[in-house]
């Protein structure tokens, strides 16, 4: 069977994954003779071009803007974008990226949880990637183990920033499904607030919780039940986090303003990674939810 070739250069070899945001393929660059990852970012609603052509054009433009911003980043823990295939108004762009061959963090965690020290080292790498993206105005919005790839030497690479463009350009329920991962999205974003870089830090905290505990504390049987749990239920104290526990408590507070800034967070993670952080006492708990304004009499 003849293989599909994109832009007369990238030969699709096999599908690596995909979802509401598009498909990812292993591909062969026939010009440079190397393997690459190819992704077409698409809205979850396949009929968007017909019923909302203006929105579809804006989505394409936004994807291109954010892809170009990411392509300018030269960061060891952000996936490298080599090339953008822009087909204009006739289709959505294809992103040509480095192929990271070591598997995902999600696959790694299927073999068991991480130690607090290893999780803290991983957290610093992901944090540095987020900080670099935030510095050019891009929030990730879908930090989760499946979007952290691992190189053969163990170093991590944060990928799949495409949701940043798609989530703001389409309805969350365009096809009756939720865009993003409900168990990792921050409470304020579930509430419809765009959030800021601190919202990505909630997601990072939840990722690290899962990495050391081996389970998600708020995942429920359905998407709606999970969203309700993230919004309303306390995060149970971790049992395996050790010195990482207080860091998780700072991150998994529902008040974005109470989460640490990136500099403070990096120092906290560094102290856990090098073993200098003290072990927490009993009674760990995440920070309190945001205070509601006092009721005003009419």
pLDDT digits (tens, 9 = 90+) for 248-272: 999 999 999 999 999 999 999 999 9
Residue 21: what pLDDT? 62
Let me know if 153 is a catalytic residue: no
Residue 49: what pLDDT? 67
- Model confidence pLDDT, tens digit, residues 58-93: 777 777 877 787 888 889 999 999 999 987 666 778
- Cα(21)–Cα(166) distance, integer angstroms: 7
160 within domain boundaries: yes
258 within domain boundaries: yes
279 within domain boundaries: no
Read off the pLDDT of each residue in 231-249 and give the average, rounded to a whole number.
Answer: 95
- Please report, for the domain that includes residue 143, its CATH number: 1.10.510.10
CA atoms within 13 A on the CB side of 279: 5
Closest CA to 113 of 244, 21, 218: 244
172 within domain boundaries: yes
Residue 69: what pLDDT? 79
Average per-residue pLDDT in the chain?
84
112 within domain boundaries: yes
Sign of CA dihedral 19, 215, 195, 197: negative
- Model confidence pLDDT, tens digit, residues 5-56: 999 999 999 998 775 567 889 999 999 999 999 988 776 666 666 777 777 7
Predicted TM-score of the model (pTM): 0.84
Residue 34: what pLDDT? 96
109-118, 163-172, 181-190, 271-280: which range is least confident on average?
163-172
Read off the pLDDT of each residue in 219-231 and give the average, rounded to a whole number.
Answer: 93
108-122, 180-194, 234-248, 264-278: which range is least confident on average?
180-194
List the catalytic residue out of 45, 49, 142, 160.
142
Range of the domain at 151: 8-273
Higher local confidence (pLDDT), 154 or 173: 154
Q: Are 195 and 256 in contact (CB under 8 A)?
A: yes
Count of structural domains within the chain:
1
Q: Are 36 and 82 in contact (CB under 8 A)?
A: yes
265 within domain boundaries: yes
Question: Residue 35 — φ and ψ, nearest 5°?
Answer: -80, 145
- Cα(74)–Cα(112) distance, integer angstroms: 32
Residue 90: what pLDDT? 61
- Cα(29)–Cα(11) distance, integer angstroms: 7
287 within domain boundaries: no
296 within domain boundaries: no
Closest CA to 164 of 149, 185, 191, 188: 185
């Amino acid at each position: 069977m003849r293989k599909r070739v994109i832009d007369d250069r990238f030969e699709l070899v096999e599908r690596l994954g995909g979802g509401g945001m598009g498909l990812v393929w292993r591909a062969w660059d026939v010009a440079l003779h190397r393997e690459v990852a190819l992704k077409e970012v698409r809205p979850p609603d396949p009929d968007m071009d017909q019923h909302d052509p203006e929105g579809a054009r804006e989505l394409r433009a936004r994807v291109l803007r954010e892809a170009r911003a990411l392509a300018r980043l030269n960061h060891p823990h952000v996936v490298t974008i080599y090339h953008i295939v822009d087909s204009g108004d006739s289709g959505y762009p294809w992103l040509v990226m480095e192929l990271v061959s070591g598997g995902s963090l999600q696959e790694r965690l299927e073999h068991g949880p991480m130690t607090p020290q290893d999780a803290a080292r991983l957290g610093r790498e992901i944090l540095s990637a987020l900080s670099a993206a935030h510095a050019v105005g891009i929030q990730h919005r879908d930090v989760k183990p499946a979007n952290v790839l691992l190189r053969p030497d163990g170093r991590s690479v944060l990928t799949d920033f495409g949701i940043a463009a798609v989530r703001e350009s389409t309805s969350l329920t365009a096809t009756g499904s939720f865009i993003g991962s409900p168990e990792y999205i921050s409470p304020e974003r579930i509430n419809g607030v765009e959030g800021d870089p601190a919202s990505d830090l909630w997601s990072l905290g939840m990722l690290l919780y899962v990495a050391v505990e081996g389970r998600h504390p708020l995942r429920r049987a359905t998407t709606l039940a999970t969203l309700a749990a993230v919004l309303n239920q306390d995060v149970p104290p971790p049992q395996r986090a050790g010195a990482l526990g207080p860091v998780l408590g700072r991150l998994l507070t529902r008040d974005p303003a109470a989460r640490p800034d990136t500099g403070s967070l990096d120092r906290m993670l560094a102290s856990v990674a090098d073993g200098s952080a003290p072990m927490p006492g009993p009674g760990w708990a995440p920070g309190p939810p945001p205070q509601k304004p006092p009721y005003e009499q009419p």
